[in-house]
Structure 1
Amino acid sequence: MSMSEIFEVLQKLDSELYYYIDEFGIYIYLLLFLIVFGKTGFVILSFLPGDSLLFASGAIAAVGELNLVLLFPLLFVATSLADSNNFLLGRVFKKIPADKNYLKRMISQSSIEKASDFLNEYEKVAITFSRFIPLMRTMIPFIAGFTDHSYINFVRYNVLGALIWTLIWLGTGFGLGNIPWVEENLLFTLALITVIMFIPSIYGFLAHFHKKNIAITKNSES
């Protein structure tokens, strides 16, 4: 299998999961683990399916083609370990000398300090819910490691976020998987669920920031 064919398989896995279950057999579980791990474990693999893959896996588990009892811990562990891996990569890049570190040449010291301040101030929300927003799900763990954020605090909120993310996407897929229309219109359902899931995540960020701004305004007035 050529590299282009491998990329095609990875990008279409969520919408053509039925086919690949027959193709890979029991090894489909290993493939799902590796894809979920790769998506947030390495910034350059952010193009891989994530939310949609969990939803499709849950929907297919609902009709008995996959085992939900095996899927849940497998994908929960995959996404938890992936973010820790991304965090540690950030730590590694931080230690590379500036003259050899392409990332350090691209990002100013003031930007790094602002990112560190952002994580310290919005730590719980940023780490827990960033995985629900594209790009942020891969950048927040990396930046946390790069800015020497507390690993213990990161792991605490990362595991909580991984649990919520896996429960929502896998559970929603499993709950809707027995509906014939969902099975026949999987791509449209994935797109619709994605939009719906973004709303509470974005609202949570905005509400948290708004509350902080009000507190800052009150302190400045007093």
Structure 2
Amino acid sequence: MDEIIQVLKNIDSSLHYYIDEFGAAIYIMLFLIVYFKTGFVILTFLPGDSMVFASGTLAATGDLNFKTLFILFAAATILGDSQNFLIGKLLRKLNSKKHYLNRLTSDKSIGKAKDFLSDYGKIAISASRFVPLMRTSVPFVSGYTGYEFRTFLSYNLIGGLIWTTLWLTAGHLLGNIDWVVNNLFFTLLMVSSTAFIPAIIGFIKQYKKKKEAIA
């Protein structure tokens, strides 16, 4: 099991090897990884941004089909977040008798997701995709706190399409640069690092608010 988890965690940097091994079935694997990452709050360790980016670079070299990837990734992340929402909604009903929520995620993660929704409103559903940990916690908490599904789905669609377009197109454009293809591991490391920029900005804003409140 540990070996399988390690393979899944690092599949983005070794994607070209798996294309040769699995052929067309690689599309099913890519769909499932994104779907499971967004559909289950406990699978945050799976690659997301970096894998979509890596897929885009391979689409630029002709190893994968860009249009097929776009449809699969957009569908996977939108369906996954919708499922995550429905799981949260279901657990809201069950949690009055048994503390299922505490078994899936920490109170700290739930608290941060609630604050994120409170600070940014409905747009947080779309924006959460670009913030580590929030991308799986916010859909779950939205369902758990009683958000209307129709409203959630609208912003989920917007976020899913923007997220897929951004990372897949970025990979496709940069995939024509030899250095990016030959140094994919370092490129993915930089891509993964950019995901923390919104979180850092948010932390700085919160710090300034607390400092002003104390003053």
Normalising to structure 2: TM-score of the pair?
A: 0.85
The residue type paired with residue 8 of structure 1 is: Q
Which residue of 175, 178, 187 maps to 1:177? Answer: 175
Matches within 5 A, 1:133-172: 133-172=131-170
CA distance in 1, matches of 2:18, 2:76: 20
Query: Which residue of structure 1 aligns with residue 76 of structure 2?
Result: 78
CA distance in 2, matches of 1:100, 1:37: 27
Q: What secondary structure sits across from 2:12 in the alignment? A: coil
Provide closer, same or farther for how the CA distance between residues 174 and 30 of structure 1 changes in structure 2, counting only shifts above 3 A.
same
Matches within 5 A, 1:53-202: 53-103=51-101, 107=107, 119=117, 122-199=120-197, 201-202=198-199
Query: Which residue of structure 1 aligns with residue 23 of structure 2?
Result: 25
1:126 Cα deviation after fit: 1.2
1:205 Cα deviation after fit: 5.5
The residue type paired with residue 92 of structure 1 is: L
CA distance in 1, matches of 2:4, 2:139: 27
Provide closer, same or farther for how the CA distance between residues 47 and 103 of structure 1 changes in structure 2, counting only shifts above 3 A.
same
Flag as ranges the 4+ runs of structure 1 deviating above 4 A.
104-108, 114-118, 202-209
Query: Which residue of structure 2 aligns with residue 12 of structure 1?
Result: 10
Query: Which residue of structure 2 aligns with residue 220 of structure 1?
Result: none
CA distance in 2, matches of 1:55, 1:161: 16
The residue type paired with residue 46 of structure 2 is: L
The residue type paired with residue 40 of structure 1 is: T
Q: Is the 8 A contact 1:115 1:147 kept in 2?
A: no
1:170 Cα deviation after fit: 0.4
Q: Is the 8 A contact 2:125 2:138 kept in 1?
A: yes
CA RMSD of aligned residues (A): 2.7
1:184 Cα deviation after fit: 1.3
Provide closer, same or farther for how the CA distance between residues 97 and 13 of structure 1 changes in structure 2, counting only shifts above 3 A.
closer
1:208 Cα deviation after fit: 9.4
**1:95-145 superposed Cα distances (whole Å, 9 cap, x missing partner):** 11434223269759xx87x96575355223311111111111010000000
Q: Is the 8 A contact 1:98 1:104 kept in 2?
A: no
Provide closer, same or farther for how the CA distance between residues 115 and 174 of structure 1 changes in structure 2, counting only shifts above 3 A.
closer
The residue type paired with residue 26 of structure 2 is: I
1:190 Cα deviation after fit: 1.3
The residue type paired with residue 100 of structure 1 is: K
Q: What percent of counterpart residues are identical?
A: 52
1:206 Cα deviation after fit: 7.6
Deviates more, 1:94-103 or 1:33-42: 94-103
The residue type paired with residue 179 of structure 2 is: W
1:8 Cα deviation after fit: 2.4
1:195 Cα deviation after fit: 2.9
Q: Is the 8 A contact 2:44 2:133 kept in 1?
A: yes
Which residue of 23, 42, 45 maps to 2:43? Answer: 45
Normalising to structure 1: TM-score of the pair?
A: 0.82
Provide closer, same or farther for how the CA distance between residues 22 and 196 of structure 1 changes in structure 2, counting only shifts above 3 A.
same
Q: Is the 8 A contact 2:88 2:140 kept in 1?
A: yes
The structure having more radius of gyration, on CA atoms, is 1
Q: Is the 8 A contact 1:42 1:138 kept in 2?
A: yes
Unaligned runs of 5+ in 1: 218-222
